Amino acid sequence: MGTRSQNNRKLIVESVAFGLGYTAVLIWSGSALVASFTGGEANPYWPDIPQLRTDTTGVIAFAVAIVSLVASRYLQLRRRSSAPAEAVAHGPGVLAVQAVAETGAVLGTALVIYLSLNAVTHPVTPEFGHFLSA
């Protein structure tokens, strides 16, 4: 009976980590859209927290997403590798590397899409262009 309760707690932690990571990705996406389509990066993302700029909110949310999604994926991989049907069990190090790699692929893709969109909506300024051509 104790094992089932412990498994449920692990599943709850995994689910909470995923929910936090998913929410952080949504917050980062919102701040990225603000940065891409407006000039309001220095404005507060939420007016109730006037000291927290939109760009700062995005950076914090992206960092929270990395940590939360890696933790969630690691816990999921560990849970699935301990299933009886799994022929080859992987060690915690292999599962951690896989979790980091998968999360990095997804968030890296999102970051490239944001940077590409930002490059289209905010063309290079003449001063910066001069710096590049020098």
Domain limits, the chain? 2-133
Residue 88 has pLDDT above 70, yes or no: no
Residue 86 to residues 76, 78, 81, 97: CA-CA distances in angstroms? 14, 11, 6, 19
Residue 127 has pLDDT above 50, yes or no: no
Cα 13–chain centre separation: 17
Residue 51 to residues 20, 46, 65: CA-CA distances in angstroms? 23, 9, 22
Residue 102 has pLDDT above 50, yes or no: yes
74 and 53 in contact (C-beta within 8 Å)?
Answer: no
Task: Quickly count helices (H) and strands (E) in the chain.
Answer: 4, 0
What is the DSSP secondary structure assignment for residue 134, as one 8-state letter?
Answer: -
Instruction: Using a pLDDT cut of 70, give the percent of the chain over it.
Output: 83
Quote the CA–CA distance of 17 and 89 in Å, as a whole number. Answer: 23
User: What was the pLDDT predicted at 49?
Assistant: 86
Query: pTM value?
Result: 0.74
CB atoms within 10 A of CB 56: 15
Q: Residue 7: which of 70, 71, 80 has the closest Cα? A: 80
Helix (H) or strand (E) holding 31: helix 2-37
